[in-house]
């Protein structure tokens, strides 16, 4: 089993590189805790998806300290890694804006060799989520597609809106996933779909996807096919369009092309969307260390 971490995002709402903001008492990043949890759960390799120009800095700050415990490889998300014939707008090239999470995952097609778990770099998912993913990947189920979900209220921040995939399931299988902006409105959680459709209220306990998916290598030819269609459909919106994994998986589920299991977890999620979220995450990690779930100095 391999762990794939998407770490090439710009972190624009955070106002800097949230992936390399110290969260632990000895300068540990959120990524460190994710790798540690995956290592403890039994994952055999970690692949970081980054921008190629950041490799040296990333290796010095993160890769060098985790590779003592688990093999490390890199994949590079590049603007040019798209179907032939697509002309990248100069505005997008100047901003260096990536094409989205589905294109990021596709960038790892040559280094992923086993069933794998994909996560965001800036989300603290909690140990049980990694154990849940590991048990699913090791199960007799031939289908390795799943999404590990959290209750919506437990993934919110008081500092602004967040993007989540609102999940609807049936008999343990994903029925639909609606990428939405979630925010508190009059004490309730309002979901505003990113496709511009009508906002709706969801219950606090509604399950949401957090870009934590398990797959096998069949995902890569699937993404190649969908990417070609995506760029054709968005040829007039190449400055802002995003090729997102929840949206593509959601479409495949609704068409009957793919079956995806919905897995719950008892883990507590913590994340950095805004700078103001930092103290809460730091305090949560400190509490987990006090409870003995993590050593004070993670990699010592």
pLDDT along the chain (300 residues), means of 10: 85 54 89 95 94 87 89 94 93 88 96 95 93 95 94 88 93 94 93 92 94 96 96 93 93 95 91 85 94 92
Go through 15-47 and write b for each residue having 16 or more CB atoms within 10 A of its CB, e for each that does not.
eebbbbbebbeeebbbbbbbbbbbbebebebbb
User: Looking at residue 236, what is its pLDDT?
Assistant: 92
User: Looking at residue 14, what is its pLDDT?
Assistant: 46
Say which DSSP state 26 is in.
T
User: Looking at residue 9, what is its pLDDT?
Assistant: 65
User: Looking at residue 20, what is its pLDDT?
Assistant: 67
Residues in the chain: 300
Question: How far, in Å, are 64, 120, 272, 273 from residue 160 at the CA level?
Answer: 35, 19, 11, 8
Q: If DSSP codes are grouped into helix, strand and coil, which group holds residue 88?
A: coil
Distance between CA atoms of 105 and 6, rounded to whole angstroms? 7
List of domains in the chain: 2-148+209-239+268-290 (3.90.550.10)
User: Looking at residue 17, what is its pLDDT?
Assistant: 60
Do the Cβ atoms of 14 and 128 come closer than 8 Å?
no
Q: Is 96 exposed, middle or buried (CB count within 10 Å of its CB: 0-12, 13-18, 19+)?
A: exposed
User: Looking at residue 243, what is its pLDDT?
Assistant: 95
Distance between CA atoms of 83 and 209, rounded to whole angstroms? 28
Strands 72-76, 45-50: parallel, antiparallel or unpaired by DSSP?
parallel
List residues bridging with 76 in a β-sheet: 50
Instruction: Tell me, yes or no, if the pTM score tops 0.85.
Output: yes
Q: If DSSP codes are grouped into helix, strand and coil, which group holds residue 197?
A: coil
User: Looking at residue 58, what is its pLDDT?
Assistant: 86
DSSP symbols for 223-286: HHHHHHHHHHHTTT-TTT----HHHHHHHHHHTTS---EEEE--PPPEE-SSGGGHHHHHHHHH
């Amino acid at each position: 089993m391999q762990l794939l971490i998407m770490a090439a995002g710009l972190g624009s709402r955070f106002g800097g590189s949230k992936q390399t903001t110290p969260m632990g008492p000895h300068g540990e990043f959120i990524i460190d805790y994710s790798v540690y949890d995956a290592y403890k759960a039994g994952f055999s390799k970690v692949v970081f998806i980054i921008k190629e120009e950041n490799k040296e800095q990333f290796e010095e700050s993160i890769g060098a300290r985790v590779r003592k415990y688990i093999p490390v490889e890199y994949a590079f998300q590049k603007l040019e890694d798209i179907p032939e014939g697509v002309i990248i707008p100069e505005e997008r090239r100047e901003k260096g804006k990536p094409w989205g999470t589905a294109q990021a995952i596709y960038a790892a097609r040559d280094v992923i060799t086993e069933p794998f778990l994909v996560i965001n770099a800036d989300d603290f998912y909690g140990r049980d989520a990694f154990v849940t993913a590991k048990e699913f990947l090791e199960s007799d189920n031939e289908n390795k597609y799943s999404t590990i979900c959290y209750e919506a209220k437990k993934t919110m921040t008081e500092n602004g809106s967040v993007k989540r995939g609102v999940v609807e399931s049936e008999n343990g299988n994903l029925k639909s996933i609606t990428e939405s902006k979630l925010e508190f409105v009059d004490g309730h959680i309002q979901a505003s779909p990113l496709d511009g459709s009508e906002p709706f209220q969801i219950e606090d306990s509604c399950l949401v996807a957090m870009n934590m998916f398990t797959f096998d290598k069949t995902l890569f030819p699937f993404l190649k096919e969908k990417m070609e269609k995506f760029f054709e459909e968005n040829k007039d919106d190449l400055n802002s369009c995003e090729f997102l994994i929840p949206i593509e998986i959601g479409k495949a589920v609704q068409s009957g092309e793919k079956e995806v299991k919905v897995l719950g977890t008892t883990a507590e999620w913590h994340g950095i969307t805004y700078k103001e979220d930092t103290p809460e995450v730091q305090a949560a990690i400190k509490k987990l260390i006090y409870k003995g779930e993590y050593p004070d100095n993670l990699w010592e």
